[in-house]
Structure formats: structure tokens, C-alpha cells
């Protein structure tokens, strides 16, 4: 069976799909001894010899899903050219190579999902899927209802109008206040820019929910593997949304064959490669 080169590389756990594309474009990948830079290239994993940086791809690793409570002043990437601490250093004992799903700012904290399931990660981050992300934020000053309304409707930022958000007041003090805001996009510094636009800079930001996942009482710097229920909920979320997208585009009812592929998932790792 032919599959796209970047999918094969991502499926081996070596890199995320995006990183795999970068490696292909940069000429680090050979197929049967020839450098391939075409992202659309299809290969047969049974017959073709694929090497990345001169080394054969290893067999696909089992899937692993975990959440980490990223502390402030830690990069949400696996490495940092500037030498700052990264989330990688917070994953002792995780032998499977996992990648962060999305980013949090250096000075933000809270829930980060990490996995080696490239397709799932890509689907969770795809703007079309509108996966909700909830942040607990401390802002300068106290927002009036009139200032909250534009955030809920959508505010104009330099990269376009934001989609509707949900904002709840949590607590207020004399100089500042706490809010909970749920957005369905993942633009760079989005929450900070939204609050800045209504004149209330963010002083602290913590992600407390990502789709069906909640941070709970996981301490800063700690991680845990997802439960079966959580991993299944993630897969169902993207499956449902993809199916809804298909229905909207093609005006067709959802087919039942996809849901019949949903299999229970061991909590830590799974050797199954279910499509999502
Ligand atoms: N929005 C931000 O502004 N920063 C983050 O880290 C996450 C969301």
C-alpha cells in the first residue's frame, strides 16, 4: 500500500507530520538512495527503503498519550536553541518519543497534551475542528460586561476577527481579576492579544482544559498518561468533527464503518493504529 512519505515518517514516531515535511523539504530524506524533496511522494513501506539523515526508519512505535502541567518559564517545545528549559526535561521515564500538541507561551502554564499519534495531533490542531481550549487568566483591572461582550462576539486582531469565545468572571480584587475564557482557535498569543484589545493585559495564564481533557490537580511540572476513557474521548472528538465536516461538505449522512473501528484503548500505550 502506498502512503505519503511524511505520514510514514510521522507514523514511525520520529517526528511530527510538520517536522517530517520540513525534513523532506530540507533534503534529509532518501527513498531507495535518492533524495526526495517532494512532499506528495508516496512510498510503499514494504518495498521502499526510506532513510532519514542516513538512518533507516524504525518500525512504528505504539501510541502514547500524556498530559503535562507545564510550569511558567519553560518552553513548550522539545528543544530550544536559546538553551531555556523545555518540556522534554519534564518527561523522565517516558521512553516513547512524544510531541507537544500545540504550544503555550514561555510564561504560560497548564495543560499540554503530548503524543506520538501524528494524525490525531494534526486533527486536534486543525482550525476546522474548533477544539475548545479553556484558560484561567488573571488580568489587570476588572472587565465590565460591556468589555466582555466583544470578546464573546469576536474582536478584531491584526490577523483577523476572532471567533466567538465564552467568558466567565471568576474572582475580582481591587487591582485585577480572574476570568475563565474558552476559545476555539489556536492563534499565537491569542488570549493575551484579545484581552489587550479590550484594555486589560493578561498577568497570568493557565490552560485548564483542552477538548475533553482537564488539568485537574496535576501539579506544575508533573505529567500523567491519559486514561482509556480520555484517549477514546479525544479520538471520538476528532472523528465526530471530521464526520460532521464531511456531512456539511457532501451533505451525506455519517457512515457507520468509522465508528465501528473505534476500539477500546489501553491507558498507557496501544499497539493499535486506529484511524481518526
Ligand atoms: N493564548 C495566549 O496568549 N498564550 C498562550 O500561551 C495560550 C493562549
* Contact residues for 15 (Cβ-Cβ < 8 A; gap 6+): 9, 23, 99
Architecture of domain 3-56: Roll (3.10)
Kindly give the distance from the C-alpha atom of residue 191 to the centroid of ligand 1, in angstroms, as a whole number. Answer: 5
Q: What is the pLDDT of residue 67?
A: 98
pLDDT digits (tens, 9 = 90+) for 175-226: 999 999 999 999 999 999 999 999 999 999 999 999 999 999 999 999 999 9
Residue closest to 210 by CA, chosen among 276, 137, 111 = 111
Name the closest-CA residue to atom 3, ligand 1: 189
Q: Is the CB of 134 under 6 A from ligand 1?
A: no
Instruction: Give me the residues paired with residue 140 across strands.
Output: 176
Q: Is the CB of 190 under 6 A from ligand 1?
A: yes
Q: Is the CB of 187 under 6 A from ligand 1?
A: no
User: Can you tell me the distance from the alpha carbon of 51 to that of 54, in angstroms, rounded to the nearest whole number?
Assistant: 5
What cell was used for 5? 512519505
Residue 189: in which H helix or E strand, if any?
none
Structural contact between residues 207 and 133, judged by C-beta atoms closer than 8 angstroms: yes
Active site positions, annotated: 105
Residue closest to 224 by CA, chosen among 234, 214, 232 = 214
Give me the residue spans of the domains in the chain: 3-56, 65-97+105-116+217-225, 132-210
Q: What is the CATH number of domain 65-97+105-116+217-225?
A: 3.30.70.580
Q: Report the sign of the C-alpha dihedral through residues 29, 31, 37, 40, in that order.
A: negative
Q: Is the CB of 196 under 6 A from ligand 1?
A: no
pTM: 0.74
pLDDT digits (tens, 9 = 90+) for 157-174: 999 999 999 999 999 888
Q: Is the CB of 183 under 6 A from ligand 1?
A: no
Name the closest-CA residue to atom 4, ligand 1: 189
Q: Report the sign of the C-alpha dihedral through residues 236, 212, 224, 119, in that order.
A: positive
User: Can you tell me the distance from the alpha carbon of 203 to that of 200, in angstroms, rounded to the nearest whole number?
Assistant: 9
Secondary structure of the chain: what % helix, strand, coil (to 5)? 25, 30, 45
pLDDT digits (tens, 9 = 90+) for 50-108: 999 998 887 667 789 999 999 999 999 999 999 999 999 999 999 888 999 999 999 99
Q: Could you tell me the end-to-end alpha-carbon distance of the chain, in angstroms, rounded to an integer? A: 19
Kindly give the distance from the C-alpha atom of residue 274 to the centroid of ligand 1, in angstroms, as a whole number. Answer: 31
Kindly give the distance from the C-alpha atom of residue 64 to the centroid of ligand 1, in angstroms, as a whole number. Answer: 25
Which ligand 1 atom is at minimum distance from the Cα of 107?
Answer: 6
Q: Is the CB of 120 under 6 A from ligand 1?
A: no
Q: Report the sign of the C-alpha dihedral through residues 5, 129, 113, 94, in that order.
A: negative
| Class (C level, CATH) for 132-210 | alpha beta
> What are the distances in angstroms from CA 86 to CA 78, 124, 129, 239, 242?
6, 22, 28, 31, 32
Residue closest to 11 by CA, chosen among 115, 121, 117, 123 = 117
- Fold match, 3-56 / 65-97+105-116+217-225: no
Kindly give the distance from the C-alpha atom of residue 225 to the centroid of ligand 1, in angstroms, as a whole number. Answer: 24
Amino acid at each position: 500500500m502506498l502512503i505519503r512519505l511524511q505520514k510514514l515518517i510521522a507514523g514511525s514516531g520520529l517526528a511530527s507530520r510538520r517536522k517530517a515535511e520540513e525534513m523532506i523539504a530540507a533534503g534529509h530524506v532518501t527513498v531507495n538512495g535518492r533524495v526526495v524533496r517532494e512532499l506528495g511522494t508516496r512510498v510503499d513501506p514494504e518495498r521502499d527503503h526510506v532513510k532519514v539523515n542516513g538512518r533507516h526508519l524504525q518500525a512504528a512505535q505504539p501510541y502514547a498519550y500524556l498530559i503535562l502541567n507545564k510550569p511558567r518559564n519553560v518552553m513548550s517545545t522539545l528543544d530550544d536553541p536559546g538553551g531555556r528549559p523545555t518540556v522534554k526535561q519534564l518527561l523522565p521515564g517516558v521512553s516513547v518519543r512524544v510531541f507537544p500538541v500545540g504550544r503555550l507561551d514561555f510564561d504560560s502554564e497548564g495543560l499540554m497534551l503530548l503524543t506520538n499519534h501524528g494524525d490525531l495531533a494534526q486533527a486536534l490542531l486543525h482550525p476546522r475542528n474548533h477544539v475548545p481550549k479553556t484558560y484561567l487568566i488573571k488580568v489587570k483591572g476588572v472587565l465590565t460586561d460591556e468589555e466582555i461582550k466583544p470578546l464573546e462576539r469576536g474582536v478584531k486582531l491584526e490577523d483577523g476577527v476572532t471567533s466567538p469565545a465564552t467568558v466567565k468572571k471568576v474572582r475580582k480584587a481591587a487591582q485585577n481579576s480572574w476570568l475563565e475564557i474558552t476559545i476555539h482557535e489556536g492563534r499565537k498569543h491569542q488570549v493575551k492579544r484579545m484581552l489587550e484589545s479590550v484594555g486589560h493585559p493578561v498577568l497570568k495564564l493557565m490552560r485548564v482544559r483542552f477538548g475533553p481533557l482537564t488539568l485537574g490537580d496535576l501539579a506544575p511540572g508533573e505529567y500523567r498518561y491519559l486514561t482509556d476513557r480520555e484517549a477514546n474521548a479525544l479520538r471520538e472528538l476528532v472523528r465526530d468533527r471530521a464526520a460532521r465536516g464531511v456531512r456539511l461538505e457532501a451533505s451525506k449522512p455519517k457512515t457507520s464503518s468509522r465508528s465501528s473501528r473505534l476500539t477500546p484503548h489501553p491507558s498507557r500505550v496501544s499497539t493499535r493504529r486506529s484511524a481518526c
